[in-house]
Amino acid sequence: MTGYGRAEQNIEGWQITIELSAVNRKQTDIMLHLPSGLTALESELKKQIAQQVLRGRVTARILVESTKGGSKQILLDQGLAKQYFDLIQSLEKQNGVSIQVNGEDLLRVPGLLTFDQQDLPLDDLKSGISLVLGEALTALLSMQQAEGHHLHQDLESRLAFIEQKITHIAAYAHAVIERYRKNLHQRLSEAGLDIDLNDDRLLREIGLFADRCDISEEITRARSHIKQFRTYMNSEDAVGRSLDFLCQEFNREINTIGSKANDAQLAQHVVEAKTELEKIREQVQNIQ
């Protein structure tokens, strides 16, 4: 789920600021922006984030600045500057043109100007960065939990709608067979075939139809999926992937009901249930 968390502390003369932003994603993807002197901590910090955020794309920006004062110096890479001007002169001679270079052009040369920064004491900062990262994660998760509460309400309302449709389908399914019996007898009568309603051939045909369109098992499994879905939603564990799998199984049952229904009104209930289930599946992708 989406979220934002920020934390900062001044630890032993170093100002540590960490910002975390998370967006929806099916898998876990962690991007770290670290000062060059702290790249050795990347693996440990990613692991710390992954223990708390199980799904989604998380971007972490870590800034470390000294509070002890001292000025920074801008350094010019003399060798790189000479290569740059030698190349300009070579192009001028080869093409017979004059190339004008100004200060703005120099600023655009990667690596030409650098800051002489104080080396970061990795061992001293390691525990402090981990502490501040933990606070930022707490803020991030708090925001995600608030969003999760609203998401829970949305999923529950959609689940209740599907449950209502399943109830309608179950109640109406029994009438399908009776209507088929009457329609079959009417067609036989219109064809000039006078067959008694208790005729064995007619009863056998109706029995075969009833067996083909029996959806009692699918109804039972669909209701079981709804119950299990609610159990997962009320769990404190990470259930995103479990809900995703459950939606696939739920969709399978609804599709089977639709293929066996053989009735326009039942088909309408199936379409409406599938529409809501698809919306649920989209939301479930964001749950940890």
pLDDT 10s per residue in the chain (288 long)?
688 999 999 887 888 999 999 887 777 889 999 887 788 889 999 999 999 888 788 999 998 887 775 555 566 777 888 888 888 888 888 888 887 777 677 667 777 766 555 556 777 788 889 999 999 999 999 988 888 888 888 999 999 999 999 888 888 776 666 665 666 555 655 655 555 556 566 556 655 555 566 777 888 899 999 999 999 888 877 788 888 889 999 998 988 888 776 677 788 888 999 999 999 988 887 777
**Structural domain boundaries in the chain:** 3-69+121-143, 73-116, 150-284
| pLDDT at 156 (0 to 100) | 92
CA dist., res. 57 & res. 25, Å (int): 6
Closest C-alpha among 223, 208, 212 to residue 254: 223
| pLDDT at 217 (0 to 100) | 81
CA dist., res. 155 & res. 19, Å (int): 30
- Count of CB atoms situated within 10 Å of the CB of 188: 14
pTM (two decimals): 0.57
| pLDDT at 175 (0 to 100) | 64
**Dihedrals φ, ψ of 2, to 5°?**
-75, 155
| pLDDT at 117 (0 to 100) | 52
∠ at Cα 146 (143, 148), nearest 5°?
Answer: 110
∠ at Cα 285 (46, 229), nearest 5°?
Answer: 120
Q: Which CATH number does 3-69+121-143 carry?
A: 3.30.230
The DSSP secondary structure of the chain, one letter per residue, reads --EEEEEEEEETTEEEEEEEEEE--SSEEEEEE--GGGGGGHHHHHHHHHTT--SEEEEEEEEEEESS----EEEE-HHHHHHHHHHHHHHHHHHT------HHHHHTSTTSEEEEPPPP-HHHHHHHHHHHHHHHHHHHHHHHHHHHHHHHHHHHHHHHHHHHHHHHHHHHHHHHHHHHHHHHHHHHHHTT----TT-HHHHHHHHHHHHHT--HHHHHHHHHHHHHHHHHHT-SS--HHHHHHHHHHHHHHHHHHHHHH--HHHHHHHHHHHHHHHHHHHHHTT--
The residue whose two tokens read 């939990």 is 145
